[in-house]
Amino acid sequence: MQIKVNNATLELVQGDITQQGTDAIVNAANPTLLGGGGVDGAIHRGAGPDLLAECRTLGGCETGDAKISNGYNLKAKHVIHTVGPVYRRDGKQAPELLASAYRRSLEVASENGLKSVAFPSISTGAYGYPLTEAAPIALKTVADFFKAHPDIELVRFVLFDGKTLAAYEEALKRLPSD
Ligand code: AR6
């Protein structure tokens, strides 16, 4: 499923983000940037040990911020590491922190001249963000970013399982078109 926002494409696919050939893939990391489980573990395995070595030099990452590294053995030349909110811990601030994780990732992509970015569903695994709440925030933040930054041409959400894809498809159908 895909839509156009201005001249940019926003698309939803089911798959493994480590296999994507976009200019960057986004990692749902933790503030240490030193690896973990879920998509973070898969990205570090796919990139190889040089990624961890570079991440050690990045000085960690605050919740809602993003840092860029090389992609090493991945098809994508870059990994943008962001940290989403922990749903139960961050409470009322969780929606803005989730939006910030997407927005900062795209700002970093734009600052580095990148044109295509693949995202996983940030915070909806180990960090416990309910999918039905997270998906509309993710899609609206990306659609709003496109309106202000025509340099980004493609954002692909790479959703690991059918349930996650279905939640994003439902949210995309309901996305306000203003
Ligand atoms: N490709 C795409 N999506 C994936 C992949 C993959 N290869 N593997 C898992 N997912 P999570 P979070 C999906 O837990 O909630 C880590 O330990 C997964 O099914 O990876 O932001 C970090 O170090 C889910 O839909 O990230 C942090 O400590 C989504 O990715 C913490 O987990 C996000 O799940 C971050 O938690």
Q: What percent of the chain has pLDDT over 90?
A: 97
Q: Mean of the pLDDT values across residues 78-103?
A: 98
**Domain-embedded: residue 127:** yes
pLDDT at 176: 81
pLDDT at 31: 98
Contacts of 85 (CB under 8 A, 6+ apart): 63, 64, 93, 94, 97, 98, 101, 123, 127, 129
If you search the block for the tokens 């609206």, which residue do you land on?
140
* pLDDT tens digit sequence for 2-40: 999 988 999 999 999 999 999 999 999 999 999 999 999
User: Residue 14 sits in which domain range?
Assistant: 2-173
* pLDDT tens digit sequence for 113-125: 999 999 999 999 9
- Res. 177: pLDDT tops 80: no
Q: Which atom of ligand 1 is nearest to the CA of 35?
A: 23
Whole-number Å distance, alpha carbon 43 to ligand 1 midpoint, is 10
Whole-number Å distance, alpha carbon 178 to ligand 1 midpoint, is 30
Q: Which atom of ligand 1 is nearest to the CA of 122?
A: 21
**Domain-embedded: residue 178:** no
pLDDT at 131: 98
Q: Which atom of ligand 1 is nearest to the CA of 158?
A: 2
pLDDT band of 93, cuts 50, 70, 90: very high
Q: Report strand pairing: 2-5 vs 8-14.
A: antiparallel
pLDDT at 18: 98
Query: What total of structural domains would you count in the chain?
Result: 1
- Res. 178: pLDDT tops 80: no
**Domain-embedded: residue 55:** yes
| H or E stretch covering 11 | strand 8-14
Q: Specify which residues 25 forms β-bridges with.
A: 79, 118
Question: What does pLDDT average to over the chain?
Answer: 97
| Annotated catalytic residue within 16, 23, 40, 161 | 40
Whole-model pTM? Answer: 0.98
Strands of 2-5's sheet in order across: 2-5, 8-14, 154-159, 116-119, 24-28, 78-82, 66-70
Q: What percent of the chain has pLDDT over 70?
A: 99
CATH number of residue 111's parent domain = 3.40.220.10
94 vs 68: CA distance, rounded Å? 23
68 vs 65: CA distance, rounded Å? 11
The verdict on whether 144 is a catalytic residue reads: no
Whole-number Å distance, alpha carbon 124 to ligand 1 midpoint, is 7
